[in-house]
Amino acid sequence: MYLIAEVIFYAGQRKQLPADGYRPDAVFSGLNEYRGITFTELPIEGFDAPTPAAIKFSFQDAHYQEVVPGQVFKIMEGLHQVGEGRIISIEK
């Protein structure tokens, strides 16, 4: 399974744009707990611009049952929010 999402990475929060394989944490609205994620497809061209992405949970498939299309999330590196996203769909 994987998530299709639209994400934005904030200018000034990272020195470089992330790439495929990037493994931050996400905090999904309503859950307020860190979840490890991996970007499997991230065709990003710049900061502060909406970008489509394919994302997998890094550690537990059970997390797919906790999220729904339309749900928003923060992209975190430690305690620092470096971006945000919104789930478009959940694919099997």
Q: Where are the domains of the chain?
A: 2-91
Average pLDDT of every residue of the chain: 97
Distance between CA atoms of 44 and 63, rounded to whole angstroms? 25
Residue 32: predicted pLDDT: 87
Distance between CA atoms of 33 and 36, rounded to whole angstroms? 10
Q: Report how far Cα 37 is from the mean position of its chain's Cα atoms.
A: 7
CATH homologous superfamily for the domain 2-91: Translation factors (2.40.30.10)
Per-residue pLDDT of 10-33, as tens digits, reads 999 999 999 999 999 999 999 989
Per-residue pLDDT of 29-67, as tens digits, reads 999 899 999 999 999 999 999 999 999 999 999 999 999
**Token pair recorded at residue 80:** 């620092």
Is the distance from CB of 90 to CB of 1 less than 8 angstroms? yes
Q: How many CB atoms lie within 10 A of CB 38?
A: 17
First to last CA, the chain: 4
Residue 31: predicted pLDDT: 94
Q: How confident is the model at residue 70 (pLDDT cuts 50, 70, 90)?
A: very high
